[in-house]
A and B are shown apart, each in its own frame.
Chain A
Amino acid sequence: MSTKSQNTVPEEHPIAPFLRMDRMPHIWCPTCGIGTIVKCFATALDESDVDLDKTAIVSGIGCTGRVAGYMNLDAFHSTHGRAIPFATGLKLGRPELQVVVFSGDGDLSGIGGNHFIHAARRNMDILVILVNNFIYGMTGGQNAPTTPLTARSSTMPFGNFERPFNLPYLAASCGATFVARWTCLHIRRLTKCIRMALRHKGFRFIEVIAPCSTLYARLNRLGSGLDLMRFYHDEAEIRHGADTREIDIGFQDRIVCGNFVDEERPTYLDMMHSHYGEVLGDRYVPMDPEGGWLHD
């Protein structure tokens, strides 16, 4: 009887084609959830029929900001908070691109807050995956716009007294047409959600709660990332279609997850084309989906 398995054992992780393996292992801490979310995103890309050559990923600054550096796509590591307008430039310069912004809560809702709300308002056709670990991790654990009340951080050593954002509510109220929240424990639902988002057109926003063991968990004595995952297991509630006004996150309180908004509305470019077509008629020359690159 053959002692060799019928299947030859592959040498590398099946998701390797989507990653820059020459940069592994990555810099994220043990029990950090970002790697899991990257895995879900890569799996969703694999399972969708997106053209990977036409998919670009933009990250900002921070722990989650390093994601672009590890993905085997056209990847841009831009400045703090400016991933969304950078992505807007890519999308408008070459409309056929599928542009994904993958960045953190501080980057996208703090310094990048203005860009976030305007891109949502315009229904700019980009997918934003926001990893929310409730803190500014890379810089050492400062208070973030998403830090829950009473949570400690390095700049709120006596506990946070600022009301945090309810990000799905913010996105939905600004006009995002696809809004969801999951934790990184919900690997299969998150992957499915990303797959749905990749098919959707318009401003798609997925907030993913992730554990930050080195800063958030340690400063708040919550154990390690594994303890936070256990907490998500116990306290996450799935409520698809919930009213985004009611899904705030308190400190170590229930986390309402689900797909909250899924609407079809014309994107920024749809509106631009239809409006100019109507007003200018034959004179309107839209930019080629291949982009505004002029060549012989």
Chain B
Amino acid sequence: MRYWRKPLDIDQVTVPHGRVVIIDDRCKGCAFCVEYCPKDVLVMSEEFNRKGYHPPEVVKDGECVNCNLCEMICPDFAIFCVASDDEEAAAAIAAQGVSDEQDEGGPN
């Protein structure tokens, strides 16, 4: 972000970071989250879940700002954000290729 002058409280302001957790098998592929994520972090994946819908997937790792809009707007309670304070950990996890998608295998 470019500033014309440095704000006085710049050391105090932090952009929140979050990680998206998607409960694949509950998703019904409505795409509200994809449409309304302010950071365009999500797209509809090509994968199918157990019911034959395309759940979303995170494409912009580390850009989620934990605004919880996806969590609020999802009609199926299939997606939510968790605060992720540890930027390094988030980057490391992303680097390791551990997907932010969580497959809920258990009976629910």
Contact = CB atoms under 8 A, between A and B. Distances in A.
The interface residues of chain A, by DSSP majority, are classed as loop
Contact of B89 (A4, A21, A29, A40): A4
B73 A36 contact: yes
B32 A3 contact: no
A3 B93 contact: yes
B25 to A, nearest CB: 8
Q: Which 4 A-B pairs have the closest CB atoms?
A: A35-B75, A30-B28, A187-B72, A31-B30
Interface stretch (A78-86, A140-148, A224-232, A284-292): A224-232
By size class, the interface of chain B is 35 or more
A25 interface: yes
A224 B84 CA distance: 34
Nearest to B31: A226
Contact of A26 (B76, B92, B108): B76
Contacts of A16: 77
Contacts of A226: 30-32, 35
**Binding site secondary structure of chain B:** mixed
B76 A5 contact: no
A5 B53 CA distance: 29
Interface in A9-37: 9-11, 13-16, 19, 21, 24-26, 28-36
Interface in B86-100: 86, 88-90, 92-93, 96
A163 to B, nearest CB: 30
Interface string B12-41: 000000010101011011111001000000
A294 interface: no
B85 A7 contact: yes
Contacts of A39: 71-75, 77
A6 B86 CA distance: 6
A19 B30 CA distance: 21
A4 B84 CA distance: 11
A191 B83 CA distance: 21
